[in-house]
Structure 1
Amino acid sequence: MARRQKADPEVVEALTEHTSFDEELVRQLATAGTAVNIPEGWSIIMETTPADSAYIVLAGTVEIRKAGQVIAHLGAGDVFGEIALVNRSLRNASVVAATPIRALRLGEEAISSLLEHDQEFADTLRTYAQSRITAG
């Protein structure tokens, strides 16, 4: 996995504040991912499309939509886009920025490497995915 030399301090701060990840995992995520700013109303993920990344919300709120209906709101610290990556399937919902958001985008290669090398992250993603599949 290609890594930048240094983690973005703003990403590290947001992940530390809004997740229960340990310091080492926060550093790995902040180095492996790319911080992105997404305007309100923009579609981030479209239902039934192939998966190439997952996101961790750093600030703002997103809506999870299934068949056009809002089924959940996620905020800082929440992960989305992980279900299709974990299950190697098409996206089962769309995600739209309900407010302007800042998120950490983790590409498929970064996710695969983290799943393989960090059991805490793997367990967290699988738990998120399973709880959303069960609820949805």
Structure 2
Amino acid sequence: MPDATGRLQQISRFDDLTDAEIALIARAGTAVNVPADWSLIWEKTPADKAYLILDGEVSVRREGVEIARLGPGDTVGESAIVAHRLRSASVVSLTPLQVLHFTAESVNDLLKASPRFREALEQTTRERLP
């Protein structure tokens, strides 16, 4: 997998982040390759992990119905961590993925260390959760 820091720098969503913030995010996550048709997150389960998509596409499904498709630069699983709730949807890979995997602890550490990262995740949470 290409260097996660370099890949993050190529994603326009992160244009406002400093090189130090991007490096912090890359160090906090673990680079993982995920095959197509793989369930990353299951609805109504505890919020124990999150993923930042570097390459590929996922389907977000609520009660088996697709509600969104997400790709590079999008995060999944973080909303439930930020909101301290059970998962509101399932996430399935539609293509092979390159992702950064984060534990709930590493997400919370990033929220403390990077105010801009916190703002971005909190905005995503407000948009995604009812």
Count of residue pairs brought into register by the alignment = 127
Provide runs of 4+ in structure 1 moved above 6 Å: none
**Cα pair 2:42 2:91 within 8 Å, conserved:** yes
Q: CA deviation at 1:13?
A: 1.3
CA RMSD of superposed structures (Å): 1.3
Post-superposition Cα deviations, 1:10-56, rounded to whole Å, max 9, x if no partner, equal 10111111132321111001111101111100100000000111111
Work out the CA distance in 2 between the residues paired with 1:103 and 1:68.
23
Q: Residues 26 and 9 from structure 1, CA distance in 2 versus in 1: closer, same or farther, beyond 3 angstroms? A: farther
The DSSP-based 3-state class of the residue aligned with 1:41 is: coil
Q: Give TM-score scaled by structure 2 length.
A: 0.93
Find the counterpart in structure 2 of residue 120 from structure 1: 116
What runs of 5+ residues in structure 2 fail to find an aligned partner? none
Identity of aligned residues (%): 39
Find the counterpart in structure 1 of residue 27 from structure 2: 31
Q: Give TM-score scaled by structure 1 length.
A: 0.89
Find the counterpart in structure 2 of residue 108 from structure 1: 104
Work out the CA distance in 2 between the residues paired with 1:22 and 1:73.
27
Find the counterpart in structure 2 of residue 45 from structure 1: 41
Work out the CA distance in 1 between the residues paired with 2:28 and 2:113.
13
Q: Once structures 1 and 2 are overlaid, which stretch shifts more, 21-30 or 89-98?
A: 21-30
What runs of 5+ residues in structure 1 fail to find an aligned partner? 1-7
